Homo-oligomer: A and B are copies of this chain.
Amino acid sequence: MDILISNQSNQPIYEQIYHQIQRQILEGSLSAGTEMPSIRALAKDLQVSVITTKKAYELLTSEGYIETVKAKGSYVAQIDREFIKDKGLTEIKKKIKELVLEAKRYDIQPSEFLELVKKEVEE
């Protein structure tokens, strides 16, 4: 597994694992049906507690990214891209709204905010 963990980050380790696996599934580098490493193997690999990888897998399962077959293992699920993207759009739109508001409080006007985003995106 291609996963990097940062102990300094404020982000919980299980979320870091979740996000990086989610990313690989969405990008297609992990395709449907692929067998995932076992919770224990991954924990050993990443030098984290089994509890932590278990939590990450539970999150991935509940969000529909992987499927777990008892006593066999976990497999990448067939994901519904439309559904995922829809959920993502709603989420991202909400966050953009919030960020625009926060920027205003710092006297950063929407037009200025848009410029910042353009700069970031063009890089």
A3 contacts the other chain (CB 8 A): no
Copies in the complex: 4
A111 contacts the other chain (CB 8 A): yes
A32 contacts the other chain (CB 8 A): no
Contact B108 A96 (CB under 8 A): no
What 1/0 flags go to A4-37 for Cβ under 8 Å of B?
0001101000000001001100110000000000
Q: How large is the interface on A (under 10, 10 to 19, 20 to 34, 35 or more residues)?
A: 35 or more
- Known contacts A70-B10, A97-B120: A23-B105 contact under CB 8 Å: yes
Per a CB cutoff under 8 Å, which of B27, B85, B97, B105 touches A27? B105
Contact A93 B114 (CB under 8 A): no
